[in-house]
Structure 1
């Protein structure tokens, strides 16, 4: 099924039952970085935690409130502060009285070409959750798992009763995640992937895309993919110094050129990681910043 047909068939606004404790409502905000849209998760029945309420959208707010029905929203949980994840928290909190818990506030300007959403400047949590901190409601317990990389403030949320992980944008169900400096950090991202390898969750629920039923295999694949990109960079540097544009031209030759500026951000993230490890170095030249083997 192509993306146009998938969008046409997507169950926007419907409350989908995924497990005894978990429902998902898909916001109608499809795009190149949200896939079919933002998946908002409701955990619990009579007492509900809402994870990533999504964009500030009237129809999506109505869908969440209808799904909650006579129940109580006890917590609104936020994985990170991109505009496709957190803005609706303000109005959902006003309508339900629920406190906003989750990641730390973060709103920065990124001087590079974006391939994800900008930061939400309205986000003001009632409580910032520390790594390993838990919140509980009727029939559920959720643990915050600090997973920086996509953003420095990114959290995943683990549901202990079902060995499930709400993976935000750290692990997505349709694509690899964006790691774009200055806030996106490849070193932190790889460390966060390894951190998840050591955990026991058996299913991931990403904010974008479908559930991941073999998460350890997928995480291994992501680590292999990033290692391959790293090796490509080091191999290309054997022929002499390169600009980011030169890396992208070779490494992403089969990718639409309109996406090359964003691909350059991923290359930059890898180069910064390699620089920290003493494997590459950079220097300024007449044609801009160039990179070489250390």
Structure 2
């Protein structure tokens, strides 16, 4: 699919508009999808990065309407920072998961997070947000981050899937906050639902969501099996595992692959399948 234009307003489903932020990258595809739900009284889901042109585009998109809620699926810097500028312009409350607290002795762990994220209201699993003409139900999906939430638009089959499920790429799990075991459990949870259309925060709509979720579960289980087979051949560190598992990978994505491998290692270690000696890993005896 060609890159849609940044800053323009597109209707992507009945009652749902999209404005794409100008932050394309190997991790965001064409940029962050900011969704506007409803007409007259609206919610803005994932307002995106605090880029003045994007905030202006969102303000123009909702001109003459009341913004009832500004919602972040999670607090990564490409999702939540624009919430503050949009809230200042509209008076709307910021809603989402809780802020994430990091170990101050691990300063690099929070590099991708919005350090100033402070929602006016923390949403719990199953909690509803509503205004005239729409109801959004919170679906807790930790894994990509511990505070990741999806949102189901009641009566439509639409799920705003944030970064939990995307059609164009697999989700990166970054320890220590990202947790592979939680991510897999959240995927299993989505399989139990009957949503018919996913609108992710990056890339296009997913119109066969159950098939995609089953495929992503299978992909993660395949990666787990790869790790176990390689460690049965001998102990290894993360860089060595990445070289053997991701042959021909774009160099820009090597770091992200290493983080996902580490997330798998942490999960396997917690389950007693492998053990660590410093930075090297081996199959448990």
TM-score (ref. length: structure 1): 0.92
Structure 2 match to 1:238: 232
Indicate which of 249, 257, 260 corresponds to 2:254. Answer: 260
Map 1:84-123 to 2 at 5 A: 84-106=78-100, 108=102, 111=108, 118-123=112-117
Q: Which runs of 5+ in 2 are unaligned?
A: none
Three-state SS of the structure 2 residue aligned to 1:229 is: helix
When residues 110 and 152 of structure 1 are mapped into structure 2, their CA distance, relative to the original with a 3 A threshold, is: farther
Structure 2 match to 1:293: 283
CA distance in 2, matches of 1:245, 1:214: 35
Structure 2 match to 1:280: 274
Structure 2 match to 1:202: 196
Structure 1 match to 2:44: 50
Q: Deviations over 1:158-205 (max 9, x none)?
A: 101211110111012310011011111000000000010011111000
Contact 1:81 1:107 in 2 (8 A): no
When residues 30 and 107 of structure 1 are mapped into structure 2, their CA distance, relative to the original with a 3 A threshold, is: farther
Contact 1:110 1:182 in 2 (8 A): no
TM-score (ref. length: structure 2): 0.95
Three-state SS of the structure 1 residue aligned to 2:155 is: helix
Map 1:59-70 to 2 at 5 A: 59-70=53-64
Map 1:1-294 to 2 at 5 A: 6-7=2-3, 10-106=4-100, 108=102, 111=108, 118-284=112-278, 289-294=279-284
Contact 2:167 2:212 in 1 (8 A): no
- Count of residue pairs brought into register by the alignment: 281
Give the superposition deviation at 1:48.
0.3
CA distance in 2, matches of 1:86, 1:43: 17
Q: Which runs of 5+ in 1 are unaligned?
A: none
Give the superposition deviation at 1:244.
1.3
Contact 2:234 2:282 in 1 (8 A): yes
CA distance in 1, matches of 2:28, 2:171: 11
Q: Which moved more, 1:249-258 or 1:70-79?
A: 249-258
